[in-house]
Structure 1
Amino acid sequence: ECYFQMTLAEAVAEGCAESTIRPKSASSEAEVTASSLLESYSWDVQRAFSRVSDMNLYDEEQLSGTADWVVVTGMPPEAHAYSSAGPDHSEPAPLLDGAYIWRFDDPSLALDSLEHAVKTGYIKIFYPLVELQTQLQFTPNDTLFSDQWHLDNTGQSSGTSGEDANITGVWDNYNGSGVVISIVDDGVQTGHPDLSANWNAAVSYDWCDGDTDPNPQSSSENHGTAVAGVAAATGDNNLDVSGAAFGATLSGQRLISCSVTDSILAGVLSFNNDIIDIYQNSWNYIDQLYPSVGPLTTAALSLAEQNGRGGLGNIIVFSAGNGLLGGSNSNYKDLPNSRYTIAVSAIDHTGVQSYYSEPGANILVAAHSSGGNKGSEFPYTTYVGITTTDRTGSDGYSSGDTDNNFGGTSSAAPLVSGIIALMLEANENLTWRDVQHILVNSARKNDPSDSSWGANGAGHDVSHKYGFGVIDAGAAVALAENWASVDDEANASYGPYTPSVAIPDASSSWTEVSTYVSAGVQVETTEVTVDIDHTYRGDLDIVLVSPSGTESWLAEGGRSDSGDDFDDWTFSTVHNWGEQSAGTWTLKVRDMAFGDFGTLNSWTLNTYGTSNPLYVTGAFEYEDREFDETGFTGVNPYLPIRGADVEIFDDSTGTILATTRTNNLGVFNASITITAA
């Protein structure tokens, strides 16, 4: 019989109860350790894990055919094979402690095994290293300095005289000497007579074949050699062409001739980051709105800026994209729209948007590249390309050592990389954010009558086509020479908010959600992460409105994109550069086409920049001591003082600097102006 008065030990002994105290298992220890490991990663990396660990992102073929998976676990490596998942091979993943790459000889068993391992606590989270296909940003086809109108436009090729990079004057003092540019592409002909003098084989690699030779391996791999020439072909040597930084050192990373995984890309963007200064990328993934930047690549980008170049940060340049005719936008790709990268659009020899160049709120600057008529719908009579190096002999785009038909944003990006090399030679202490600031403040407003231009709240002219304008080498280098580094980066995050509001079909009315930002950040980049259910996302306009009223068009409807949903997609915008973050931010969404409905499920706002020293915020609270007829009953602390008048004054002079009121949370904020005596 079981009696109420029994102790637990007696009840267990008599079979009246079961002990709930069990020895701690290896899996529970691993679960605790894995949880703490995941929480130790940066917020960006945690967010990337959250996105790519959603198995709904992948199709059946990807899930059943992927052998390599990234897992986070607290188990020691020697125990991995004995976990419930039982991987056939395990190796540490790059950059993240506690992250491993598990390989399964039979990929079809991987998903079920990993899901069971999560349930039993052996691992915390996992995702597949899916192989993604890459594509060149342009399929080009180019001789000699007098033909290089992008460097010195005298009106040749019927262009506008002076519409060039304004670079020749800079060469009197700088040519990029001492700066290393890594060409991440489909291979570079290292023995090309106009490239070999600047080549550094020690910091080159072939990620496709796993060796240190980045030379092209097939007759179609011509792109990287042309890109290298635009950036840093040897100049002043009486041979062929000149690169923008003709004294810089070149290296190559052969990447886009094969499939790329999160692990491989992380390796590329952290490869010799203490030696390489600039990573030049004229490529992107084929699929739009695909989360190619996984946790490992996110960590690589972050560490490149924290540790690269001795802590100053690497410069990572990406072409914005050539999909304008298909309605594409550079913000639909998560490498060009990363705040760690510089996205470059293209203009032609007359200074206007090239017919292929994608717009985007993420674009920082434009640069000169090819233009002209490649289709009857454009008012051009000729195609004008860029003259650069080409593979020698029978290989390459042409029969000689140069080609004069190269172009696309593939040529615009290395022009920017070369000019940045000149800036770094002029001032080796520039940080990665200093470089972005200088480009913003030195770019020239081209095509000034174009309707895309507008002034933001900080007085910067900015365009969805051109960013802050076309890069100006003379102005950029002059500004770089005596540049004082910006303060450390500050950021503020708001959300996620979960409004779950409907997006009406075929309506010009906006669905709007807002948040109030109190943190004082002088903005550089703003990120918006949205989760939207919609059966035809190409219908949607998505716009972010800052407290200053600046509108950033993140997505534009009317494009032929029949894909479903925006699954926690992060857009970015540089259009708030220099504005103050404080105030109300509004996200607007609408669907102006018939036949599809949707829901804005959630959104998050992140602002990055520098702390605003002239911004004051705080809160007033009071402590409520409560009594009843029996006497003192306790304290209810930290109640907000609502609607209180607040004066901010200079204690030394008694001058009132600002007046404001507390809100319903007791919070007040104000911008103040201090005038030097």
Structure 2
Amino acid sequence: MSGTIINDPLFSQQWYLLNTGQNGGTPGVDLNVLPVWNDYTGKGITVAVVDQGVEYAHPDLAANVNTFISFSGSINGNDGQPVTSDDSHGVAVAGEIAAVAGNGIGGVGVAFDATLASVYIDLSETASDADLNAGFTAVLTQAVNSYDVINNSWGYGGVFHNFNDIANQGVSEALTNAVTYGRDGLGVVVVFAAGNDREKDYDANADNLTNSPYTIAVAAIDNAGKVSSYSTPGASILVAAPSSSDYYTLETTVIPAANEDEEDQIVQKLVPHTYGEVVTSDRVGENGYNTAPSPQGDYAYDFGGTSAAAPQVAGVVALMLEANPELGYRDVQDILALTARNTDASGSWAINGATTWNGGGMHTSRDVGYGLVDATAAVRLAETWDAQSTTANLMTYTGEAHAQSTLGDGTGSASSSITLPAGISVERAEVVLDLNDADASDLVIVLTSPSGTRSTLFDAAGLNVAYPANFAMTSTQYLGESSQGVWTITVLDTKADGSSASFGGWKLNLYGSAATDDTRYVYTNEYSSAFAQDSSRALVVDTSGTDTLNMSPVTAGAAIDLQPSTVSLVAGAPLVIAPFTVIENVYTGDGNDLIVDNSVGNKISAGRGNDILMTTFGNDILDGGSGFDVVGFDRNYDAYLVEASDGVISVSSMQGTKSITNIEALSFADRVVSSEELLTSKTAFSTASSLATGIS
């Protein structure tokens, strides 16, 4: 694995990295990260841990911590290390991201060669929002020149932290600057834990940090793939990652009576039990969660919450950026969503109105966003991603509508619609309501897209505070949908509490990429199950633009025929290229693939595995990737002009020119030629006159 032998003794307990069913978990419910380590380990990527500090000398972290770009964002610290004996959280978070691998101690980080920067902020109960604002603003300012990824396993408590409040506008501006100017304009990737307030009936959309289009909100799932008992739901959640969870038992205690004249007292209470805890680094020695002396006490065995889920995503992002440093922050968000997995078939899922994910719409949920992050699939798609999406090319459509409605207490509802034109492939929708309600706990707010996707923007029965003015809520659930058509907001008053709501109108912002006829169709390992539920997903119909089948996230071998009116096989399910449909480009994944080109100029990248690429007409660019790969030609060797230069083999005939890289052999009708033989020769292997006889 990239030259590193995983000999770390706690690795077998890190089920979130490799779930074999240990401790009763479901095998395979993990980050699927091990295959990535063959090529990428986070090297060259800097992840800032904004938390309670990281111990610079921790034996499993020291090699990866850059102290020169670490600092304190709070007045009670002077560097990025813990200040008080209670400051343990940051060390645990850092270990999940980049604990050193192969050193024979402790565990392994998701991106174990990434660089860590530690920024201390005061997360104690005495810290004020003003302190947090100042600290996080300092982080975002530093990020422009220093950090690639920022992990935030903390929050403001989920009670309407509003960027439009004067006190919070500095954070909003700094966040905008970080994604606009950071990473030389590609944007810093900002990750936030979604929160642990599910049992309070809170909503992740009630905080402008966890619902910002500039951040990635991460939910938690347990070791069986179900949403964790505490994980705060919300339409703003993008993805989920593994963490602990709780279940409850009703336990009865009998307290004997003090004398014979009294009855025994029976007391019943719900007792929580935690399972699936995350194993990671801890404060050295007797400090921290584990109070045993070193070396046993240097590791925590009971970390959890969405605090433990977020850093895993930050680590996966580091792997993605090493694989493709040119990704914009929006690309990272899209790739994570496109490759996330549904690990709970019984969960509350909806299918959105996209048309290009596994042949149709994407699964999405208020509980876990698009699902469990899949590191291997995300990295494979990152390697082959053919876009760069930043603030510079972000498209925005805005619409406003006025209304004058008073909602009946406990029974009322009001709806209003905005019509927007075509032109945007939606990534996020943002809504600002003119809404007055003294008790937001009685509100349910739903946004419906032109395709019929209903996203519950707000449902927080436990949030007994007034609904704030000018508060923005977002939904990630429209990824890949068109902006065109009627968007409808519905506000419901669901609880008779003496508090009536008045609705005066709303503003809708749609963010995304410019719509184009150049379509990218993404296929993942879930294609076979998606096809089983809806066989219409098998048909690809596209007669315009330059179009791409990106199957790089698919693990199994594929058989792809790009010619119209043909049937291919992807992830074990059929895929039909419709008549008159022209697909120009294809990327395949880790399996042993068979790919047949068509008559237009194709770009074919066969990924990993031992692949066969069959050629016909057209000028093609062929990349075999790793493995033993063969390009096939249907005529004798002498029918072609074969040349080699600078690692590229060119094969020309009247059928066209094929530019070939990373191929081990060329198979002609009469012979097989080693690419090594061609690349080490200085001469052409046939004469130009043979081009005239290349086709009869």
TM-score range, shorter chain: 0.5 to 0.7
Please say if 1:516 is aligned against 2:419.
Answer: yes
Please say if 1:383 is aligned against 2:275.
Answer: yes
Q: CA deviation at 1:256?
A: 3.1
Matches of 1:464 and 1:432, distance apart in 2: 22
Please say if 1:202 is aligned against 2:106.
Answer: no
Instruction: Tell me the residue number matched to 2:373.
Output: 471
Q: CA deviation at 1:518?
A: 1.7
Q: Map residues 557-576 of structure 1 onto 2, 5 A cutoff.
A: 559-576=461-478
Matches of 1:427 and 1:272, distance apart in 2: 19
Please say if 1:219 is aligned against 2:116.
Answer: no
For 1:365, give the aligned amino acid: V
Q: 2:399 aligns with which of 484, 494, 502?
A: 494
Matches of 2:21 and 2:272, distance apart in 1: 16
Per the alignment, in what secondary structure is the counterpart of residue 145 of structure 2?
Answer: coil
For 1:564, give the aligned amino acid: A
Is 1:337–1:343's contact at 8 Å kept on the other side of the alignment? Answer: yes
Is 2:163–2:172's contact at 8 Å kept on the other side of the alignment? Answer: no
Q: CA deviation at 1:486?
A: 4.0
Q: Map residues 441-590 of structure 1 onto 2, 5 A cutoff.
A: 441-458=338-355, 459-486=361-388, 488-495=393-400, 497-507=401-411, 510-556=413-459, 559-590=461-492
Instruction: Tell me the residue number matched to 2:184.
Output: 310
Distance 1:264 1:591, change over 3 A: same
Is 2:159–2:463's contact at 8 Å kept on the other side of the alignment? Answer: no
Q: CA deviation at 1:567?
A: 1.6
Per the alignment, in what secondary structure is the counterpart of residue 395 of structure 1?
Answer: coil
Instruction: Tell me the residue number matched to 1:102.
Output: none
For 1:351-380, what per-residue CA distance to the aligned partner results, in whole angstroms no more than 9, with x for missing partners?
A: 000000011111110100112326659999
Per the alignment, in what secondary structure is the counterpart of residue 444 of structure 1?
Answer: coil
Q: Map residues 26-175 of structure 1 onto 2, 5 A cutoff.
A: 144-175=10-41
Is 1:531–1:602's contact at 8 Å kept on the other side of the alignment? Answer: yes
Per the alignment, in what secondary structure is the counterpart of residue 604 of structure 1?
Answer: strand
Matches of 1:174 and 1:453, distance apart in 2: 34
Q: CA deviation at 1:292?
A: 5.0
Distance 1:585 1:272, change over 3 A: closer
For 1:395, give the aligned amino acid: N
Distance 1:449 1:491, change over 3 A: same
Q: 2:157 aligns with which of 286, 289, 297?
A: 286
Q: CA deviation at 1:289?
A: 0.9
Distance 1:210 1:536, change over 3 A: closer
Instruction: Tell me the residue number matched to 1:396.
Output: 288
Q: Map residues 401-412 of structure 1 onto 2, 5 A cutoff.
A: 401-412=298-309
Q: CA deviation at 1:342?
A: 0.4
Distance 1:168 1:521, change over 3 A: same
For 1:408-456, what per-residue CA distance to the aligned partner results, in whole angstroms no more than 9, with x for missing partners?
A: 0000000000011011111111111111111111111110232334343
Instruction: Tell me the residue number matched to 1:63.
Output: none
Per the alignment, in what secondary structure is the counterpart of residue 146 of structure 2?
Answer: coil
- % identical aligned pairs: 39
Please say if 1:247 is aligned against 2:149.
Answer: no
Please say if 1:259 is aligned against 2:144.
Answer: no
For 1:163-183, what per-residue CA distance to the aligned partner results, in whole angstroms no more than 9, with x for missing partners?
A: 111011111111100000000
Per the alignment, in what secondary structure is the counterpart of residue 16 of structure 2?
Answer: coil
Q: CA deviation at 1:280?
A: 0.4
- TM-score normalized with structure 2 length: 0.66
Is 1:457–1:550's contact at 8 Å kept on the other side of the alignment? Answer: no
Is 1:531–1:565's contact at 8 Å kept on the other side of the alignment? Answer: no
Q: CA deviation at 1:531?
A: 2.5
For 1:631-671, what per-residue CA distance to the aligned partner results, in whole angstroms no more than 9, with x for missing partners?
A: xxxxxxxxxxxxxxxxxxx9xxxxxxxxxxxxxxxxxxxxx
Q: 2:499 aligns with which of 588, 592, 596?
A: 596
Matches of 2:405 and 2:122, distance apart in 1: 41
Please say if 1:186 is aligned against 2:52.
Answer: yes
Show structure 2 runs of 5+ residues with no match: 1-8, 251-268, 356-360, 519-543, 545-579, 583-599, 601-696
For 1:547, give the aligned amino acid: P
Matches of 1:333 and 1:256, distance apart in 2: 19
Q: 2:222 aligns with which of 345, 348, 352?
A: 348
CA-based RMSD = 2.3
Matches of 2:363 and 2:158, distance apart in 1: 31
Q: CA deviation at 1:562?
A: 2.2
Is 1:374–1:383's contact at 8 Å kept on the other side of the alignment? Answer: no
For 1:289-339, what per-residue CA distance to the aligned partner results, in whole angstroms no more than 9, with x for missing partners?
A: 131573322221222122111111100000000000000111111101000
Q: Map residues 631-646 of structure 1 onto 2, 5 A cutoff.
A: none
Distance 1:374 1:217, change over 3 A: farther
Q: CA deviation at 1:675?
A: 6.4
Q: CA deviation at 1:275?
A: 2.3
For 2:229, give the aligned amino acid: Y
Instruction: Tell me the residue number matched to 2:172.
Output: 298
Q: CA deviation at 1:607?
A: 0.2
For 1:576-596, what per-residue CA distance to the aligned partner results, in whole angstroms no more than 9, with x for missing partners?
A: 111001111100011121122
Matches of 1:351 and 1:485, distance apart in 2: 31
Instruction: Tell me the residue number matched to 2:310.
Output: 413
Distance 1:468 1:174, change over 3 A: same
Matches of 1:486 and 1:364, distance apart in 2: 19
Show structure 1 runs of 5+ residues with no match: 1-142, 616-649, 651-673
Is 1:204–1:212's contact at 8 Å kept on the other side of the alignment? Answer: no
Matches of 1:374 and 1:171, distance apart in 2: 38
Matches of 1:226 and 1:176, distance apart in 2: 18
For 2:370, give the aligned amino acid: F
Matches of 1:375 and 1:311, distance apart in 2: 52
Matches of 1:610 and 1:244, distance apart in 2: 30
Matches of 2:175 and 2:201, distance apart in 1: 28
Q: Map residues 596-675 of structure 1 onto 2, 5 A cutoff.
A: 596-613=499-516
Q: CA deviation at 1:533?
A: 1.0
Is 2:249–2:271's contact at 8 Å kept on the other side of the alignment? Answer: no
Instruction: Tell me the residue number matched to 1:81.
Output: none
- TM-score normalized with structure 1 length: 0.67
Instruction: Tell me the residue number matched to 2:630.
Output: none
Per the alignment, in what secondary structure is the counterpart of residue 223 of structure 2?
Answer: coil
Is 1:531–1:566's contact at 8 Å kept on the other side of the alignment? Answer: no
Per the alignment, in what secondary structure is the counterpart of residue 271 of structure 1?
Answer: helix
Count residues with an aligned counterpart: 477
Matches of 2:219 and 2:249, distance apart in 1: 20
Matches of 2:88 and 2:271, distance apart in 1: 30
Matches of 2:270 and 2:323, distance apart in 1: 41
